[in-house]
Amino acid sequence: MISSTPLAADSPTGRRRRLSLPPIASLAAISGRLRLERDPLRIALFVLTVLTISRVHQHYPMLAAARPALLLVAASIGYACLNPSYLTRANVLRLWPIRLVITLVILACGSVVFGISLGGSASFILDSYVKTLAYAFLIAVSIRNVRDLYTFVWAYVVSCGILAYFSLFVFGIAQAGSHVARLHNLYTYDSNDLGVVMIVGLPLTLLLLTVDRGAKRWFLLSILVGIAATMARSGSRGGFLGFVAVGFAALILVKNVSAWRRLAVLAAAVTALAAGAPAGYWKQMRTILEPKEDYNYTDIDGRKAVTQRGIAYMAQYPVFGLGIDNFARAECSISPKLASLRRNGPMRCTAPHNSYVQAGAELGVPGLLVWVSLVLVGIFAPARLRRRLPSSWRNGTDSERFLYGATSFLAVAMIGFAVTSFFVSFAWMDPIYLLAAFLTGLYVAAEAQRDEGEHTGGWRPSPRVSAKFVAGWRTTASAFRAANSMGRSNRPT
């Protein structure tokens, strides 16, 4: 029988002595319990995530005036520079999610020079986009292991819980220009944007439910119910389609949760959606089946007309596009609708209302291809990673099950984003870049968990899990791996 603890060579007395292992790694491997990391960098980034996603500080004017998100970014960067050991040693710049984000940044900078308004694009990059990128990159390089990834997923889910609370008990609903009474006067997101943020949080909540127990599980279930009820109160048809897509994707893609549990949880979410639906909600959702009778099909500023003009802008500026964040400016300066509007009524500088159109029109064809590739990588790369993981992780420790489940639920989250972002202007907003950071962290955490299992002798790598875990992977050699190899050569069989 093979011992689960690496042994050193026989001592002169004939007794075998055990190789010493780091106590933290040993305890983690034995228990497999997940906990939130509480070092200063992780705490700062946890709070930063809550502020960035929930925007709760906007409810408190004095707190908002202090610009806490900016202060936390500066503090996180400063602390990371002074304590680089708190960052991952993996070369995240060689992983595809980060490479695609960097490519988008390069294209965005090119669009500043060749777009229709240098000042408009440059101001957007400096005032907004660079903050989104810095935040996502900080998250990516701060995920060293499964506990770090678990901590940041919790931060996003807590943010959704805060948004759900405000949507249910603070924000009001009103009927304005639609069949449904829906959330209005939101100072964080509008009702359609809220649907995107919450639909990404739904699979992440389900992921945590697979490993957490006791009070945490009940807290997560309350957030799940709150998310579903908020989706109903938003009155968003795009959000409803995203909800349906996430439900089907979870039933098909998730492998580490039994079918009846998946059905039970989704049934609870559907029940909460139905219970939270305001007056006229289902009538509003039925209009999805009758698109030609909706104003979006006939109005000059409806989605159909805006999409057609966006495609025309992309054809007119195919390489660099209009310039990042210049779509609304184009609508009021070079749009073909100007001639008729000057004669018949006021002019609106319309947003693209479609993230795919936004990416293509503002960054050209290359920008559209790269942005869509980032979405597709977020859907298909986790499934490819899952095939490389040991099958024992499916029913292993909490850490192993969390990583195995993340390969499914992160893909489901990206599917939810891919559907809902079709109806909002979210190409340069936080969710897709944060999901890219989570996927990057998933690769790093899976490799760290694999190494930890080797060091403690808990399992031997499957032949499918090569030393080169993913293309372009680079890790630091460990002294304990050499000790483990020496111990293996002397194990009794």
Of 412, 393, 424, residue with least CA distance to 246 = 412
Return the structure tokens found at 163.
């948004």
HEC per residue, 282-299: HHHHHHHHCHHHCHHHHC
- Which of 23-37, 262-276, 299-313 shows the lowest per-residue confidence on average (mean pLDDT)? 23-37
Least confident range of 71-80, 124-133, 480-489: 480-489
For 325-376, the pLDDT digits (tens) are 999 999 988 988 877 665 555 678 899 999 999 999 999 999 999 999 999 9
Stretch 68-94: mean pLDDT, rounded? 92
Q: For residue range 435-482, what is the model confidence (pLDDT) as tens digits?
A: 999 999 999 999 999 888 765 544 433 333 333 443 333 333 333 344
Q: Is 471 exposed, middle or buried (0-12, 13-18, 19+ CB in 10 A)?
A: exposed
Lowest mean pLDDT among 157-166, 205-214, 232-241, 341-350: 341-350
Q: What is the pLDDT of residue 200?
A: 98
- pLDDT surpasses 90 at 37: yes
Q: Give residue 290's pLDDT.
A: 86
Pairing of strands 7-10, 16-18: antiparallel
Closest CA to 49 of 22, 68, 27: 68
Q: Which residues pair with 175 in a beta bridge?
A: 181
Q: Give the integer Cα–Cα distance in Å for 295 and 282.
A: 18
Calculate mean pLDDT across residues 254-258: 87
* All residues at 6 or more sequence positions from 311 whose CB lies less than 8 Å from its CB, including other chains: 357, 360, 361
The pLDDT confidence band at residue 398, using thresholds 50, 70 and 90, is very high
Residue 18: is its pLDDT beyond 70? no
- The residue among 199, 211, 200 whose CA lies nearest residue 151 is 211
Rounded CA gap, 223 and 247, in Å?
A: 16
Q: How far apart are CA 49 and CA 155, in angstroms?
A: 6
Three-class HEC string of the chain: CCCCCCEEEECCCCCEEECCCCHHHHHHHHHCCCCCCCCHHHHHHHHHHHHHHHCHHHHCHHHHHCCHHHHHHHHHHHHHHHCHHHCCCCCHHHCHHHHHHHHHHHHHHHHHHHCCCHHHHHHHHHHHHHHHHHHHHHHHHCCCCHHHHHHHHHHHHHHHHHHHHHHHHCCCEEECCCCCEEECCCCCCCHHHHHHHHHHHHHHHHHHHCCCCHHHHHHHHHHHHHHHHHHHHHCCHHHHHHHHHHHHHHHHHCCCCCHHHHHHHHHHHHHHHHHHCCCCHHHHHHHHHCHHHCHHHHCCCCHHHHHHHHHHHHHHCCCCCCCCCCHHHHHCCCCCCHHHHHHHCCCCCCCCCCHHHHHHHHHHHHHHHHHHHHHHHHHHHHHHHHHHCCHHHHHCCHHHHHHHHHHHHHHHHHHHHHHHHHHCCCCCCHHHHHHHHHHHHHHHHHHHHHHHHHHCCCCCCCCCCCCCCCCCCCCCCCHHHHHHHHHHCCCCC
Q: What is the pLDDT of residue 380?
A: 96
Partners of 226 in the beta sheet?
none
Mean pLDDT of the chain: 85
**Sequence spans of domains, the chain:** 7-11+36-293+351-488
At 342 the pLDDT is 59
Q: Considering only 119-128, 226-235, 296-305, 326-335, which range has the smallest mean pLDDT?
A: 296-305
Q: Is the dihedral of CA 471, 474, 479, 482 positive or negative?
A: positive
**pLDDT, tens digit (0-9, with 9 covering 90-100), for 164-195:** 999 999 888 877 656 677 887 677 788 899 99
